[in-house]
């Protein structure tokens, strides 16, 4: 099964992708995570992407297409995968179609996360992650049960993304409206698009997604 989680930054795609990946046992592919890893490893791709990501703009289609292609053709994606943060432009959507066509596969669902812009910046700047196990938290929506202690692994070290500040968040939301949202009619025409209410509680959003993918 191939699922695209579609929506602006801060809408909860990453959180739901992780839950879904564990629930239905398919690979989670986040281009944002791949690029952050490249930046950390100081690869050529990482060096090219770093400044662009800091500004909240989109990295070039060529770079993103290359890193996603490398992952999609791997064996662990044979059963399908969840795309989180890709495609973000029409060109990327076309590249994805070409890769899938060449490997005789098809997208099953494109799930649009419906949220208000006013919620997004606060959600983005509230995000933080356990450095040890990667569990995600939010100052507004999901704090650890015990203050400053990870619910999952007990670690007390948390990290915040460099681009989760209000100025970059605003640019990222703008990039979504200008470049990514224009993809919605593309998937609507292909009869793949379903919208959900992503402002509901995390478990509620998961339920909506599961009911779509189990159909």
Q: Which residues bind ligand AMP (CB under 6 A)?
A: 9, 31-32, 35, 52-53, 56-59, 64, 85-86, 88, 92, 163, 172
SS3 of 63-119: the string is HHHHHHHHHHCCHHHCCCEEEECCCCCHHHHHHHHHHHHHCCCCCCEEEEEECCHHH
For ligand AMP, the nearest residue by Cβ is 32
Six token digits for residue 132: 């040890």
Token couple for 54: 């800091």
Residue closer to ligand AMP, measured from CB, 12 or 56? 56
Closest contact distance (angstroms) between CB of 41 and ligand AMP is: 15
CA gap 54, 93 in Å, rounded: 24
> Which of 88, 109 has the CB closer to ligand AMP?
88
Nearest to 173, CA basis, from 13, 6, 56, 5? 56
Query: Could you tell me the smallest distance in angstroms from the CB atom of residue 42 to ligand AMP?
Result: 16
Of the pair 81, 86, the CB lying nearest ligand AMP is at 86
Q: Which is nearer to ligand AMP, 43 or 211 (CB)?
A: 43
**Residues annotated as catalytic (active site), given as ranges:** 13, 88, 127, 161, 172
* Residue 135, both tokens: 């569990």
Taking the complex as a whole, the smallest distance from the CB of residue 179 to ligand AMP amounts, in Å, to 9
| β partners of residue 3 | 82, 109
DSSP annotation of 12 reads: S
In the complex, least distance from residue 31 CB atom to ligand AMP, rounded to whole angstroms: 3
């Amino acid at each position: 099964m191939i699922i695209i989680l579609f929506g602006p930054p801060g809408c909860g795609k990453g959180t739901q992708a992780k839950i879904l990946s564990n629930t239905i046992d398919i690979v989670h592919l986040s281009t944002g995570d791949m690029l952050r890893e490249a930046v950390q490893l100081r690869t050529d791709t990482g060096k090219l992407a770093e400044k662009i990501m800091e500004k909240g703009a989109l990295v070039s289609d060529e770079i993103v297409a290359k890193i996603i292609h490398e992952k999609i053709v791997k064996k662990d994606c044979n059963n399908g995968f969840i795309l989180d943060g890709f495609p973000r432009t029409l060109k990327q959507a076309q590249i994805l179609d070409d890769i899938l066509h060449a490997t005789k596969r098809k997208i099953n669902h494109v799930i649009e996360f419906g949220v208000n812009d006013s919620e997004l910046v606060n959600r983005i700047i509230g995000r933080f992650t356990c450095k040890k196990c990667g569990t995600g938290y939010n100052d507004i929506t999901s704090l650890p049960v015990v203050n400053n202690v990870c619910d999952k692994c007990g670690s007390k070290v948390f990290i915040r993304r460099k681009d989760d500040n209000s100025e970059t968040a605003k640019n990222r939301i703008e990039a979504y409206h200008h470049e990514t949202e224009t993809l919605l009619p593309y998937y609507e025409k292909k009869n793949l698009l379903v919208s959900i209410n992503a402002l509901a509680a995390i478990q509620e959003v998961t339920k909506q997604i599961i009911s779509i993918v189990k159909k």
